[in-house]
Amino acid sequence: MSAALKIENVSKKYILKHNAQKVNSVRDMFDFSEGGFFSGKQKSTSETFWALKDVTFDVQQGDRIGLIGSNGAGKSTLLKVLSRITEPTHGSIRVRGRMASLLEVGTGFHPELTGRENIFLNGAILGMKNHEITKHFDAIVDFAGIEKFLDTPVKRYSSGMYVRLGFAIAAHLEPEILVVDEVLAVGDADFQKKSIGKMKDVSRSGRTIIFVSHNLTAVQGLCNNGAYLRNGQLIKFGEMDSVINEYIKNVAKFQLQQSWDRPEDAPGNDNIRIKSIELNSMNDLGNKIFDTRTPFKICFDYWNMYEEANLNISLFLYSMAGECIFNIANELQTFKKGIVRSECLIPGDFLNDGSYYISVMVVKDGVAPAFFFEDALVFDIQDFREGTDWYGKWPGAVRPKNLIIKSSQLELE
């Protein structure tokens, strides 16, 4: 199999300039003699920023490459270099065949031209003849669902219409290499399902796809190989599942355990001191890997300084947006002075994918907070689903699998 793309030691450097205004007094803000404003001395500094640094890998013809990494990792810069929107500072890229890129909403569109005219304009940019574009015209319009707006200037299109038309053009005009950035997230569920299906059709025809998304399930479902970028450098390239595992291991926001050896060093007060709190995955994938299927256990130990007290635990689970997903508590129990352990099992197939944190309160007599341990644990739950072609964000805070909807026929017509 021949290489569709050869990326060799590609680096991209930017010079970032910073202007600092030095103001010594309120009077310095005004230049009364010149009639100016902010006349303080300007101090200009600059720094070198490498958006990409010595990135090297080959993409074989027919490969479906998932490009993953956190914001600022260099993914979009690499796509712009591949698409010849910007030139690399160092290194080389060899492209075999025509490339169609959908990097951001409205890429390649002329806002004053209609949807019809932009289809032909984009086709011409791809190097296609008029008769080749005409051959696919009806399929493009049907896929994008813009029949009513075909002769409307695209500057009046919504962002969703922009993306639908841009993707339809890029996918149907038969480029050898199709490059798609995160823009598909703008579309609705039906459009995402159609787009994933279309990219699978494109790959089955032997063409090459480079797909960028933060939705790891979508990447995993579509791509056979992947590249993980971090701070402009290629961390791992290879089989998609192993690349995703490397990414999760390196970037997930984890605080899965905290512990203290002595009460005097631990958070708390004269009555309660925290000894340890730990989150453990109850599957065989490893303690740091959680997805929507994963049951997990919270173990919480604390020093009780009361000689004897009626105590219980109140546990709060929050989304990263600060929404309380649930708050649960156990029954009051009487404990003497010493170490108390509490455990809570959260079932799998219950929480939705996302980032969460846990706070724990020790309560006395069922009403009086003895100590509130805020932001004790932080963890991510990755998406997992089977039997669907749509990989958009599943709505809601919880995703209980064991709640079943049943339907039955009541009457026949």
State residue 325's pLDDT score.
92
State residue 29's pLDDT score.
46
State residue 386's pLDDT score.
75
Q: Report DSSP letters for 138-198, one per residue.
A: HHHHHHHT-GGGTTSBGGGS-HHHHHHHHHHHHHHS--SEEEE-GGGGGS-HHHHHHHHHH
The count of other CB atoms within 10 Å of the CB of residue 26 is: 7
In order along its 413 residues, the chain shows pLDDT tens digits of 578 899 999 999 998 776 655 555 555 544 444 444 445 555 667 788 999 999 999 999 889 999 998 878 899 899 989 988 889 999 999 998 888 887 765 667 888 999 999 999 988 877 778 898 999 999 999 988 889 999 999 999 887 888 888 888 888 877 889 888 866 655 666 777 788 888 888 888 888 999 988 777 778 888 999 999 999 999 999 999 889 888 877 765 678 999 999 999 999 999 999 999 999 988 765 666 788 999 999 999 999 999 999 999 999 999 876 788 999 999 999 999 999 999 999 999 999 988 889 999 999 999 999 999 998 998 888 888 776 666 667 788 898 988 888 888 788 87
Q: For the chain, which domains are there? A: 3-14+52-251 (3.40.50.300), 257-381 (2.70.50.60)
State residue 198's pLDDT score.
84
User: What residues contact 393, with CB distance under 8 A and at least 6 apart?
Assistant: 215
User: What residues contact 201, with CB distance under 8 A and at least 6 apart?
Assistant: none
Q: Report DSSP letters for 85-137, one per residue.
A: SS--SEEEEEE-S-EEEE-STTTT--TTSBHHHHHHHHHHHTT--HHHHHHHH
State residue 138's pLDDT score.
93
CA-wise closest residue to 394 among 350, 357, 356: 350
Which H or E element spans position 248? helix 240-251
State residue 8's pLDDT score.
95
Separation in Å, CA 253 to CA 320, 356, 376:
11, 9, 13
State residue 326's pLDDT score.
94
State residue 269's pLDDT score.
95
